[in-house]
C-alpha cells in the first residue's frame, strides 16, 4: 500500500530483490538513484546489495535539515500526532506539509503516510546514525538544488565529503528546489552518466 511498509527488513529485502531482478534481465549498468526520502532506501541498497549495481546518485541530501524548513507544530498538533501514532498506526493519517511544496495534484506523488511507515523510514534518525562503509568501489554523484528548501549546499557538500569513493562528483543544479524532477534532466547529470557508463 502506498505510504506504508510492514517492516524495515521487508523494505531492505525489497530493495535488494528489485535491484537483483533488474540485473537478471541483462542490464549490465544498474544505477541506484535516490531523491529526498528515497535517499534512505538508496543508501540502504548501496550498503546491502553492492554486487548488483554499478553506480549511485543521491539528490537532495544532507546530514541536517535546515532550521525552519518545516512548520513548527503547536502543542495540539503534537498531541494529535501522538494519538495517530497510537490509534491509527496502520492508516494513512500523517500528511506531509511544507511551504511551497509542488506535486500536490500529481497522482505519482504521495503525501499521506502511515505512522508505521514514518517510524520505519525516519530520514533524520537514519542520517544521524548512518555511517558509510569503508569503501564504495563505484561512481557516486551527490546533487543538490541551488534553491533547495530542506538542505543547504554546505550540508550537502559536507555529506559528499564523507563519501568513500575515488570516483565521486558534487553537483549543484541551477535554480532547482528540493523535489523538482527537472534535476534528473540536468545536462551535468547526463554528462556524469555518459562519462562513467558509456
Q: Which residues contact 120 (CB under 8 A, 6 or more apart)?
A: 5, 7, 8, 11
The rounded distance, in Å, linking the Cα atoms of 78 and 194 is 47
Return d(Cα 186, Cα 198) in angstroms, integer.
17
pLDDT of 66 reads 80
Give the model confidence (pLDDT) of 130-180 as tens digits: 888 899 999 999 999 998 888 999 999 999 999 999 999 999 988 888 876
What does the pLDDT read at residue 143?
92
pLDDT tens digit sequence for 94-111:
777 666 666 667 777 777
What ranges do the domains of the chain cover?
A: 8-69+122-197
CA 8, CA 148: separation in Å to the nearest integer? 28
What CATH number belongs to 8-69+122-197? 3.40.50.1820
User: Helices in the chain by DSSP H: which ranges?
Assistant: 8-24, 38-48, 75-87, 115-120, 123-129, 153-162, 187-197
What pLDDT score was predicted for residue 163? 96
φ/ψ (deg, to 5) at 35: -140, 130
Amino acid at each position: 500500500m502506498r505510504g506504508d511498509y510492514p517492516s524495515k527488513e521487508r523494505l531492505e529485502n525489497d530493495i535488494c530483490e528489485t535491484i537483483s531482478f533488474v540485473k537478471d534481465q541483462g542490464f549490465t549498468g544498474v544505477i541506484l538513484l535516490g531523491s529526498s526520502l528515497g535517499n534512505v532506501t538508496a543508501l540502504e541498497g548501496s550498503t546491502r546489495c553492492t554486487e548488483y549495481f554499478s553506480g549511485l546518485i543521491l539528490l537532495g541530501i544532507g546530514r541536517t535539515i535546515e532550521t525552519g524548513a518545516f512548520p513548527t507544530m503547536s502543542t495540539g498538533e503534537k498531541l494529535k500526532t501522538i494519538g495517530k501514532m497510537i490509534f491509527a498506526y496502520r492508516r494513512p493519517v500523517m500528511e506531509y506539509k511544507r511551504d511551497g511544496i509542488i506535486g500536490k495534484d500529481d497522482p505519482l506523488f504521495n503525501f499521506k503516510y502511515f505512522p508505521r511507515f514514518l517510524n520505519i523510514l525516519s530520514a533524520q534518525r537514519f542520517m544521524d546514525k548512518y555511517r558509510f562503509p569503508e569503501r564504495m568501489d563505484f561512481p557516486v554523484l551527490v546533487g543538490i538544488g541551488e534553491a533547495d528548501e530542506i538542505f543547504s549546499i554546505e550540508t550537502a557538500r559536507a555529506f559528499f565529503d564523507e563519501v568513500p569513493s575515488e570516483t565521486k562528483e558534487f553537483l549543484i543544479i541551477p535554480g532547482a528546489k528540493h523535489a523538482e524532477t527537472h534535476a534528473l534532466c540536468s545536462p551535468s547529470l547526463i554528462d556524469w552518466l555518459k562519462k562513467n557508463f558509456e
